Amino acid sequence: MNAPDRSAPDPHGFLRGRERWRPVEALPWLIAIGAFFALPDYMILGTQVITMIIFALSLDLILGYAGIVSLGHAAYFGAGAYATGMLSAHLGWGEPISGLLFGGAVAGLVGFVSGWVLLRYHGLTLLMLTLATAIMLQELANVLEVWTGGFDGLLGMEFTPLFGLFENDLWGHAYYWYALAVLAICFLFARRLVHSAFGRTLVGIRENTRRMHAIGSPVHWRLVTVYTASATMAGLAGALFAEINAYVTLDVLSFARSGAVLIVLILGGTGRLYGAFVGATVYVILEDELAKASPEFWEFGVGLVLVLVVLFFRGGLLGGLDSAARRLKEARS
């Protein structure tokens, strides 16, 4: 058996040991910590950014690494949100951490069952099936209005203080740290997964599925596994959303939410992990500022930014930064 060619191009950096931590990776976390002290009145917005980052990370696992394009990823965000919300509203269970885990587990189960069926298909068929899954779940939530509240939303959720000490105060300070801790755990898991041997096989499946079949890789099982992990993470984001807002509506399962998280990844850059950080931050802040400036036409501004990014930054904003840094390094050498 021939040894691997170390001189061959390695665009994903696996052979160069990119799994090792780099100093620049501390920057997003330092910014998140610094934001708490610099902008204490904006922690509710900050928590929304973090929730969106977790949701985008979950989509990046299947889109950026396994090549699974989904138009219905909100199905798992909504499943987590409703599971946690109904646990509190109907069963009186308001402990946040166990509620969060329950939401993630329910979403993961939904992801496993749906993924086992959907991932037998490819291309446009798969794309439409993911969309149909979210639409069916949204209609199911509407039909089961006794449990979900239907169009009126799920009310009556009450959550106890974190560890019995930290209330979700008016400024969102305690839940900002709570959300940041959940993000850190999700990110460490995602980073570990994509830089593992399993993650390398996902990239192989994305690049050439037939070849992976030919070498005996269990393609379907690997795709179902990463799809389940992605759904679980999306469910954690949805459960966190429910706990922060103490209110869940059918919007958590909407096509608009699935489209928004896809836009976030395109803005930040797919297959990079930190692209979710950049894209979510830009999207949420842009949405907030444009909605204040023009409540009727803010979506036009978001669309314009998206078009400009797609035209001039093929790898998203993070890809553009990487290209600029590479060119600067080449100019200096």
Question: Is residue 28 included in any domain, yes or no?
Answer: no
Q: Say what the pLDDT of residue 20 is.
A: 81
Q: What sign does the CA torsion over 85, 90, 92, 98 have?
A: negative
Structural domain contains residue 18: no
Residue 259 lies in a domain: yes
pTM for the full model?
0.91
Residue span of the structural domain in which 109 resides: 41-332
Would 121 be classed as within a structural domain?
Answer: yes
CATH of the domain at 294: 1.10.3470
Task: From 179, 139, 210, 160, select the one nearest 57 (Cα to Cα).
Answer: 179
Q: Please report whether residue 118 resides in a domain.
A: yes
Q: CA-CA distance, 259 to 176, in Å (whole number)?
A: 25
> How high is the pLDDT of residue 226?
97
Name the domain count of the chain: 1
CA 132, CA 31: separation in Å to the nearest integer?
A: 38
Decide if 31 is inside a domain. no
Quick check: is 155 in a domain? Answer: yes
Q: Is residue 15 in some structural domain? A: no
- pLDDT per position in the chain (333 positions), as tens? 344 443 333 444 433 345 788 888 999 999 999 999 999 999 999 999 999 999 999 999 999 999 999 999 999 999 999 999 999 999 999 999 999 999 999 999 999 999 999 999 998 999 999 999 999 999 999 999 999 999 899 988 999 988 888 888 777 889 999 999 999 999 999 999 999 999 999 999 999 988 998 998 899 999 999 999 999 999 999 999 999 999 999 999 999 999 999 999 999 999 889 999 999 999 999 999 998 888 888 889 889 999 999 888 888 898 888 888 788 888 887
